[in-house]
Amino acid sequence: MIVAASTGCFPETPLPEVIEILSDLEFTAVEIVLDDNGIQMPPSRLVEDFDESLRVVRDTHRLDICSYDVKIRVEGEEYYQRFEKICDLAKATKVVTLTIPSGEHGTPFNQEVEHLQRVVSIAEGRGARVAIKGQIGCLSEDPDTVKTLCDYVPGLGLTLDPSHYLCSNHRNKNYEKLLKYVYHTHLRDSKKDKLQVRVGQGEIEYGRLITQLQTVGYDRALCVNMIPMDDMDMRQELRKLRLLLDSLL
């Protein structure tokens, strides 16, 4: 396993500057957020000027790109056009794992299955694979639903974020049955009543999680993915969690 960090930890900072910060913090790998509502690398920009976008993304100060966190904010055929460009970017940068959100609560199950089947098919055609993020407010909040979706859509995996399961209404459901579907991880420290706290003040058992992942042969990224908070020094927290995860590997 490797320890990585998401550019989403600094959402208001341009991509080249975030890469430099993470390099200074001695991370060796990075997850790049592709968010239509963000400034770093919106999927719409890939459609407008793919070659320039590829040049920017490739300038990572020798950090390996472990994954892309994809947040496309349009629907219909335009969604799939942008997703195809993201898959082209993944192929050009030798990235395999793409994280996308699942549908929000209330999304019809059959509609979600059809959507996921299509994105998985597009990704597989370009050598990539799709993971839905376990997330409060989405269908993937429920571990049982995640298992059903992954079984219905061959090739679909999970980006495991233990914080969202700890804080959800489904916290009493064991997510260990999902470990075999895990393609990627998002990590921070959390309590049952607070999605993010300072490192060391929460209840996430990183050592146990690493052991669980090792039992299913997971050998990819442990990706730090924190939310900016006014009372938190992001650089300090990133450094603390990197050192903690490194010590457990």
Indicate the average pLDDT of the chain.
93
State yes or no: pLDDT of 126 exceeds 80: yes
* Predicted pLDDT at 172: 62
For the chain, the farthest-separated pair of C-alpha atoms sits apart, in whole angstroms, at 47
**Average pLDDT for 146-170:** 91
* Predicted pLDDT at 223: 98
* Predicted pLDDT at 230: 87
Give percent of the chain above pLDDT 70: 99
248 — pLDDT class (breaks 50, 70, 90): very high
- What would the two tokens of residue 216 be? 């299913």
* Predicted pLDDT at 170: 66
Q: DSSP 3-state assignment of 195?
A: strand
Residue indicated by tokens 């900016």: 228
- Closest Cα partner for 73 from 42, 40, 46? 42
114 — pLDDT class (breaks 50, 70, 90): very high
* Predicted pLDDT at 231: 84
Domains and CATH numbers, the chain: 2-248 (3.20.20.150)
Residue indicated by tokens 């998002």: 186
